[in-house]
Amino acid sequence: MGIHREGTATLLLATAILCFALYGLMQWTSAPAALRIALAAPLVIIFLILLWFFRVPRRTTTMDDGAIVSPADGRVVAIEEVHEPEHFNDRRLQVSIFMSPLNVHVNWYPVAGTVSYARYHPGKYLVAWHPKSSTENERSTVVVRHARHGEVLFRQIAGALARRICTYSTAGANAAQGREFGFIKFGSRVDLFLPLGSKVQVALGDTVQGSTTVIARFPNA
């Protein structure tokens, strides 16, 4: 397990603040030791939470040409047929994954192919499960065209705590199933828009693991 590069600046700043605060508490010799420990403990806990948030786990990717694997760690909060207006402008099967602040926040390509569309949209910071969050929040949309099964769209959506979406995809780039394509800082959501007829392999409330859990299989797989 390592630390994600998106956390470097945040962790350096947090380390400096922690060291400064602990040094100040150590020099505050008039205060009882128990009080100094009580004041220091929350600072250390917050720092450890930041380290945990920016962790990058070692994963064994599920490599399956007929499968759509999870792009994120989290909980399945929606499985429904919807109209997708940004790219397809037709009906698609939507699967939404909610990422809590304690989940790994790396995002992985769910399928292999070529990036046919990539666009960032600034926006609001509604709670990630709000019905309008997918169209009004800060978000980034990526579409990968699979050589045999067509296009799959996935959208990173900022939540109430998220304040930065990082997307490394560019149109025309190669996408490898299970390879990292982005990162979202703090609570957020990832939506998948799949071809109608895709065979969903998860249920509402299921906990899924990015690059590992099979979310669905293509209709003709």
Number of helices (H), then strands (E), in the chain: 3, 16
Q: How many CB atoms lie within 10 A of CB 51?
A: 14
> What are the beta bridge partners of residue 153?
143, 193
Q: Pairing relation of β-strands 165-167 and 139-146? A: unpaired
DSSP strands (E only) in 45-89:
55-56, 67-69, 74-84
Active-site option among 96, 133, 169, 188: 188
- 134 catalytic? Reply is no
How far apart are the C-alpha atoms of 77 and 37, rounded to whole Å?
Answer: 41
Q: Which residues are catalytic?
A: 188
